[in-house]
Chain A
Amino acid sequence: MDFMRTLALGLCFFLGACSTTPKSTQTLSEPTFLYDRIVKDDIATPLDIWDPLETFNRASYRFNARFDDYVYLPALHGYQAITPDIVETGVSNVFDNLDDIRTLVNQILQIKPIEVLQTGARLITNTTLGLLGLFDVASYFDLPKYHEDFGQTLGYYGVSPGPYLVVPIMGPSNLRDGFGDIVDTLPVAPLFEDHPDRKLMAYLLRFLDERAKTSFRYYETGSPFEYELVRLLYSTKRRIEVSE
Chain B
Amino acid sequence: MISLVKIPKVVRWAMPRLTMLVLISIPLHVNAGSYDYPFSNPYIATIAGTPIEFRADLPQDIPLETLTLEKEVGPEVPEIFWYQDGLDYSLALQEFRAPLIFVISGTGADYKSEKNNVLLKAFYQAGFHVVGLTSPSHQSFITTASRSAIPGYMADDAADLYQVMQRIKNALARNQDVEISKYLLTGYSLGGAHAAFVSKLDQEEKVFSFDRVLLLNPPLSMYASISKLDRMLENIPGGVDHFSEFFDKLVQRISEAYRRSSKAEFNEALVYEAFKYDRPSDEQLAAIIGVAFRFSASSMVFTVDAMTNAGFVKPKEKILSTNDSLQAYLRLCMRIGFTDYYHELFFPHFKRLQPSLSRESLARQLSLLQIEPYLRRTAKIGLVHNRDDIILVNGDIEVLEDIFGSRAKIFPTGGHLGNLQQRDTLAYIVNYFK
Contacts and interface: CB of A to CB of B under 8 A. Distances in A.
Is B truly associated with A?
yes
Interface of A: 1, 19, 21, 26, 28-33, 35, 38-40, 43-47, 54-55, 58-59, 62, 65, 115, 144-147, 167, 170-173, 177-178, 181, 184-185, 203, 206-207, 210-211, 213-225, 227-230, 232-234, 236-241, 243-244
B18 interface: yes
Contacts of B312: 31-33
Contacts of A236: 251
A82 to B, nearest CB: 21
B263 A228 contact: no
25 contacts: A29-B311, A29-B316, A31-B316, A32-B313, A33-B332, A45-B243, A58-B322, A65-B83, A145-B265, A171-B6, A203-B1, A207-B1, A211-B3, A211-B4, A216-B4, A219-B84, A220-B110, A222-B108, A222-B109, A223-B295, A224-B303, A229-B11, A229-B15, A239-B255, A243-B259
Nearest to B322: A62
A58 B323 contact: yes
A216 B264 contact: no
A178 B2 contact: yes
Contacts of A47: 327, 330-331, 334
B317 interface: yes
B313 A45 contact: no
Contacts of A239: 251, 255
Interface of B: 1-12, 14-15, 18, 80-84, 108-110, 112, 138-140, 241, 243-244, 247-248, 251, 254-255, 258-259, 262-266, 295-296, 298-299, 302-303, 306, 310-318, 321-332, 334-336, 340, 344-345
A33 B139 contact: no
Nearest to B13: A221
Contacts of A243: 255, 258-259
Contact of B7 (A33, A45, A214, A225): A214
Contacts, number: 208
A223 B4 contact: no
Contacts of B6: 171-173, 177, 234, 237-238
Main secondary structure of the interface of B (DSSP, over half): helix
Please list the 9 inter-chain residue pairs (A to B) with the smallest Cβ-Cβ separation, ordered nearest first: A28-B315, A223-B299, A170-B2, A181-B2, A210-B3, A219-B83, A243-B255, A171-B4, A46-B247
Contacts of A38: 332, 335-336
B244 A46 contact: yes
B399 to A, nearest CB: 31
Nearest to A145: B265
A228 B84 CA distance: 18
Given A43-B244, A45-B331, A224-B80, A214 B4 contact: yes
Contacts of B15: 229, 232-233
Given A220-B12, A223-B295, A232-B15, A206 B1 contact: yes
Contacts of A227: 326
In this complex, the member of B8, B302, B311 whose beta carbon has the largest number of chain A beta carbons within 10 angstroms is: B8
A39 B322 contact: no
A166 to B, nearest CB: 11
A144 B263 CA distance: 6
A33 B299 contact: no
A225 B18 contact: no
In this complex, the member of A38, A222, A228, A230 whose beta carbon has the largest number of chain B beta carbons within 10 angstroms is: A222
